[in-house]
Chain A
Amino acid sequence: MIKVKGLYHSYLKDGKYAVKDVNFEVGEGEIFGFLGPSGAGKSTTQGILTGLLQLQKGDVTVAGYDIKNISRKMFNKIGVSFEQSNVYNKMTAKENLSFYARLFDVETRDPLELIELVGLKGKENIKTGEFSKGMKHRLVFARSMINNPTMWFLDEPTTGLDPAIAAAIKDIIKDRNKMGVTVFLTTHNMYIADELCDRVGFIVEGEIKLIDSPKNLKLQYGEKLVEVEYTQNGSVKKDCFSTILQKDKDALNKIINEKEILTMHTKEATLEEIFIKVTGRELV
């Protein structure tokens, strides 16, 4: 569904790249998660894939269309949910969706049904200017599926939502995917990624560090993390070490030899911990 080869993008064309040498493929029916801290280049990548940003360097095809000479028809097949909640504040929720629906050439979904689906029932005739940020974000999410897309781009679909609503959104994505929809999802929420994604790509400072399935990552790192409590200069310290990475092994060795160990046990790594181990970066 998506093929990206040697993708570079510099906003100011000044040799400073927001994404550099990005390569990945997303198969049909797959949920692919782009994970990385804010500023990593996730939205930039999605922007290029959806034709919002001009392709500068690299080869990109989406749903069979070459992004170099984009065809408006492509947008009948794809749906885009934005990080920014971009709706008309002076129009009601229903008006926003109804107007949007008419821009497509294909059959579209009932705006009221979608509004209900994202938990905004009863708010359909309220101007979105009066909505909270989270409510607007859900409306943008609902809008992105109005044309029954087979290729669905979701930029931070659950960010800023409370956990119950985030879970509901997650279920909607799962449902659509079961019907065969391919999903490209960017997030910095590891739990969502862990539960939803068939494969994840770790991106930091514009570069992809690793692509694999959460399952493989856990097999590789699972039960291979050691949590150690020890005393140092009279106070208790707690650290986590991988038993695969050489530098972690060395550090652990040093502590065992030099410090007084209080507790020590192995544990299953979360995706977040794996991310930190692999990229050396926190997910904020």
Chain B
Amino acid sequence: MKMWSSFKKELILAARGFYFYVELGFAVVIMLVILFAIPENFSSTNTEYFYFNLPEQGREISKNSLLENDTDGKIEEVEIETGGKVYPAGLIVSDEQEIYIFESEEAVRELADSERNLGVVVELDENNELFYRYYLQGYESTRLKNLLSVLLNESTVVLEERINNQEVRTLTTGFEPITERKNTIPPLVAFSGSLMGMFVMAAYIFLDKKEGVIEAYAVTPSSVWRYLLSKVFVLLLTTVVSGLIIVIPVMGFSINYGLLLLLLLTTGFFASTLGLLIASFYDNMTKAFGVIYLLFFILMVPGIAYFIPGWDPFWVKIIPTYPILQGFKEIILPKGDIVYPLLTSAGFLAGGLVIFALTNIRFKRTLSV
């Protein structure tokens, strides 16, 4: 009864306020961007730059082997400009790759640097064996680097033999990759739902602190935790609604919505209690802004890592948004894991409860007259 009445009041206040519509409006904008601005699939071709520092014959052989995959079987003569210089190149286009063959190592190095693509220089060493120099971007994982050196140091014959002798057993059958458009959902849902929840919650509390209404609440038989919880409920409602606004138009009804709701609720709970806790330390938004901004930035990092394949250091994985993203990803994958989102939900529920308990103590201690 007291809980319901408090919740209803918070809902009325939210509906008469500004942030409620900001949050929902944000979700609508994100949904429209996903549907109309993000292509179903990004161009999936990757680009590589080659320079064959070989005798004429070797150069021809290499070119011809690359040409086998070319769509029209011909090398196209193009010119590429970077850093104010123009480099002539031969372009070989296949379904998966665009390969530019340059006439100098300098060109390869410049372009690998400016365009952030893989550059390869092939030459002969003193024993007349092929020698490869790779220009990487620096963020590639050790695994990829190892793979490259293994590929080059073992003779291809040995490698082929080994690969053929390996028995491959598939664990998940019918694994289908999702489209790039769908792939953008997890970070955007996490951002608009959970992260916004933290910010909006803090904003709500600062409004109440300005009006001094928490003190009025504290001298009734209803407890401060009820007041805090009713705010959390309002935030959960907006988190769920904004999450669904984004997910339903893109995913239709092909996913497990029970699981989605569970993860939205638990992560939203965690984020809003975090907002409460931050707000308990400051009098107004201006004073809290530094901390909120910093936290926002840290929590955004897994979202960045999400879009950079191969960049996945340990410290990113312990930022709470990382499991949120992975959890949402499992939910939208056609054959995604069910246990992972469940465990993640349990974790955020537990974390949220701890923060809520802390916050309750803090709010009781910081009442004023």
Chain A interface residues (CB < 8 Å from chain B)? 43-44, 46-47, 50-54, 72-76, 78, 80, 82-91, 95, 99-100, 102-105, 140, 143, 155
Beyond the given A72-B223, A90-B16, A102-B1, could you list 20 further A-B residue pairs with CB under 8 A, ordered by the A residue number? Answer: A43-B369, A44-B369, A50-B219, A51-B218, A75-B219, A75-B220, A78-B219, A80-B216, A80-B219, A86-B213, A88-B9, A88-B13, A90-B12, A91-B16, A99-B6, A99-B9, A102-B2, A103-B2, A103-B6, A140-B216
**Residue of A54, A83, A88, A155 contacting most chain B CB atoms (<10 Å):** A88
A82–B220 CB distance below 8 A:
no
Judged by a CB distance under 8 angstroms, whether B127 is at the interface is no
Given contacts A86-B216, A88-B211, A75 and B369 within 8 Å (CB-CB): no
B218–A82 CB distance below 8 A:
no
Contact digits for B1-26, partner A, Cβ 8 Å, 1 yes 0 no: 11001100100110011000000000
A103–B221 CB distance below 8 A:
yes
Residues of chain A contacted by B5 (CB below 8 angstroms): 99, 102-103
Could you pull out 24 A-B pairs where Cβ atoms are within 8 angstroms?
A44-B369, A50-B219, A51-B219, A52-B219, A52-B369, A53-B367, A75-B221, A80-B216, A82-B215, A83-B369, A85-B212, A86-B216, A87-B211, A89-B211, A90-B12, A90-B16, A91-B9, A100-B220, A102-B1, A102-B5, A103-B6, A103-B217, A104-B220, A155-B369
Residues of chain B contacted by A47 (CB below 8 angstroms): 367-369
Residues of chain A contacted by B215 (CB below 8 angstroms): 52, 82, 84, 86
Closest residue of chain A to B16 (Cβ to Cβ) is: A90
B220–A84 CB distance below 8 A:
no
User: In the docked arrangement, what's the CA distance between A89 and B213, Å?
Assistant: 10
User: In the docked arrangement, what's the CA distance between A76 and B211, Å?
Assistant: 23
**Residue of B218, B220, B365 contacting most chain A CB atoms (<10 Å):** B220
A40 to chain B, nearest CB (A): 13
User: In the docked arrangement, what's the CA distance between A170 and B354, Å?
Assistant: 47
Closest residue of chain A to B15 (Cβ to Cβ) is: A90
User: In the docked arrangement, what's the CA distance between A95 and B12, Å?
Assistant: 10
Closest residue of chain A to B219 (Cβ to Cβ) is: A80
Closest residue of chain A to B216 (Cβ to Cβ) is: A86
B369–A73 CB distance below 8 A:
no
B231 to chain A, nearest CB (A): 13
A73–B221 CB distance below 8 A:
yes
Residues of chain B contacted by A78 (CB below 8 angstroms): 219
Q: Which of A50, A72, A80, A83 is B222 in contact with, Cβ under 8 Å?
A: A72
Q: Which of B32-72 contact A (CB under 8 A)?
A: none
Residues of chain A contacted by B369 (CB below 8 angstroms): 43-44, 46-47, 52-53, 82-83, 155
User: In the docked arrangement, what's the CA distance between A201 and B17, Å?
Assistant: 44
B359 to chain A, nearest CB (A): 17
Contact digits for B213-235, partner A, Cβ 8 Å, 1 yes 0 no: 10111111111000000000000
**Residue of A85, A90, A104 contacting most chain B CB atoms (<10 Å):** A90
Residues of chain A contacted by B1 (CB below 8 angstroms): 102
B4 to chain A, nearest CB (A): 9
Residues of chain B contacted by A102 (CB below 8 angstroms): 1-2, 5
B213 to chain A, nearest CB (A): 5
Q: Which of B180-226 contact A (CB under 8 A)?
A: 211-213, 215-223
The 9 closest A-B CB pairs, nearest first, are A86-B212, A47-B369, A103-B220, A102-B5, A103-B222, A80-B219, A43-B369, A90-B16, A52-B367
Residues of chain A contacted by B365 (CB below 8 angstroms): 54
Residues of chain A contacted by B212 (CB below 8 angstroms): 82, 84-86
B12 to chain A, nearest CB (A): 7
A52–B218 CB distance below 8 A:
yes
**Residue of B215, B216, B217, B223 contacting most chain A CB atoms (<10 Å):** B216
Residues of chain B contacted by A140 (CB below 8 angstroms): 216
B361 to chain A, nearest CB (A): 11
Residues of chain A contacted by B9 (CB below 8 angstroms): 88, 91, 95, 99
A47 to chain B, nearest CB (A): 3
User: In the docked arrangement, what's the CA distance between A42 and B369, Å?
Assistant: 10
User: In the docked arrangement, what's the CA distance between A83 and B368, Å?
Assistant: 11
B283 to chain A, nearest CB (A): 14
B129 to chain A, nearest CB (A): 77
Closest residue of chain A to B208 (Cβ to Cβ) is: A88
User: In the docked arrangement, what's the CA distance between A87 and B6, Å?
Assistant: 14
B301 to chain A, nearest CB (A): 36
A29 to chain B, nearest CB (A): 22
Closest residue of chain A to B4 (Cβ to Cβ) is: A102
User: In the docked arrangement, what's the CA distance between A68 and B368, Å?
Assistant: 17
B41 to chain A, nearest CB (A): 46
User: In the docked arrangement, what's the CA distance between A134 and B5, Å?
Assistant: 28
**Residue of A43, A51, A87, A100 contacting most chain B CB atoms (<10 Å):** A100
User: In the docked arrangement, what's the CA distance between A52 and B2, Å?
Assistant: 20
Residues of chain A contacted by B13 (CB below 8 angstroms): 88, 90-91
B159 to chain A, nearest CB (A): 70
Q: Which of B6, B216, B221 is A76 in contact with, Cβ under 8 Å?
A: B221
Residues of chain B contacted by A104 (CB below 8 angstroms): 220-221
Given contacts A44-B369, A53-B369, A99-B9, A88 and B219 within 8 Å (CB-CB): no
Closest residue of chain A to B367 (Cβ to Cβ) is: A52
A9 to chain B, nearest CB (A): 10
Q: Which of B95-119 contact A (CB under 8 A)?
A: none
Contact digits for B344-369, partner A, Cβ 8 Å, 1 yes 0 no: 00000000000000000000110111
